[in-house]
Amino acid sequence: EMQLVESGGGLVQAGGSLKLSCAASGSTFDDYAVGWFRQAPGKEREGVSCITLSDGPTYYADSVKGRFVISTDNAKTTVYLQMNSLKPEDTGVYYCAADYLDTCSSTWFGGLLEHWGQGTQITVSS
């Protein structure tokens, strides 16, 4: 069974950059849609970005559009989230999720997603 492991979190100053990785084990991301969520303390989890690995669409929440870039490696075993121009409001635990034979869209984040990572903490100081 697929397992997801996030890495790359940490503490960064506002305006800085971080790159998160979501690595798949047990399978590749072929025919999956993979996305990133985040949850700030006291707030609901929100969808950040997703990608359809079969060269399909990507999606970015308005709050990160133009600052974050989602991508994958050629082997489709890792999905990255490059986060630039970070703001304090980007602070939270970031989770990756994957769903087989699915397509990334704005509504993807509300579906029942099969696989989840354990999360990685991002803290942006002002």
Q: Which residue has the higher pLDDT, 1 or 88?
A: 88
pLDDT at 56 over 90: no
pLDDT exceeds 90 at position 62: yes
pLDDT for the residue 18: 98
- pLDDT at residue 109 tops 90: yes
**Order of strands across the sheet with 3-7?**
3-7, 18-25, 78-83, 68-72
Q: Which whole number is the average pLDDT over 5-10?
A: 96
23-46 pLDDT, tens digit per residue, is 999 999 999 999 999 999 999 999
- How confident is the model over 106-113, as a mean pLDDT? 93
- Which pLDDT score, from 0 to 100, does residue 54 have? 87
- pLDDT at residue 29, rounded to an integer: 95
* pLDDT exceeds cutoff 90 at 119: yes
